[in-house]
Amino acid sequence: MLKVFLERRSIRKYKDEKIEIEKINQILAAGKVAPSGRKRKPWEFIVVENKEVLKKLSRVKPKGGLFLAESPTCIAIMGKEEISDTWVEDCSIASTFIQLEACNQGLGSCWVQIKNRLTEEGKNAEEAVKEILEVSNNNRVLCIIALGYPNEEKPAYKEEDYL
């Protein structure tokens, strides 16, 4: 497992290649088995493959999320604050599991922070994402994870990077 931890890097350039549904399902399963406080699992994952929606999401955070427009898939990580006061921590762990499984599946990924961020126009980024994804409930948006087959290479971490 350490091999996956060392190989996982933030990838922002992706090939124009659809991700197989089996891989998406495995990635979602990894997120769903993540530990959470009191086993509340206060998360919801929204998979986006529609190019127009990906373009809209990329403009929510133009300084840190433009690459979403070029990714074939992303997963919005939503948290249910009313279910758990540790939704941020729980969803962060689930997001990490998602990214590690993406790497295990031969995919690249990158986290785009949404919670407590503003759009270029000064609008709440969470509200902007919820509007784009037509989410009308009280869910909070922690982040968006871009996914795709890497179109860039980054070296794995070496032992001296973590000792």
Domains of the chain: 2-151 (3.40.109.10)
- Tens of pLDDT along 69-120? 999 999 999 999 999 999 999 999 999 999 999 999 999 999 999 999 999 9
pTM over 0.85: yes
Name 77's Cβ contacts closer than 8 Å, sequence gap at least 6. 31, 43, 45, 91, 94, 95, 98, 141, 142, 143, 144, 145
d(CA 146, CA 139): 20
- Tens of pLDDT along 30-61? 999 999 999 999 999 999 999 999 999 999 99
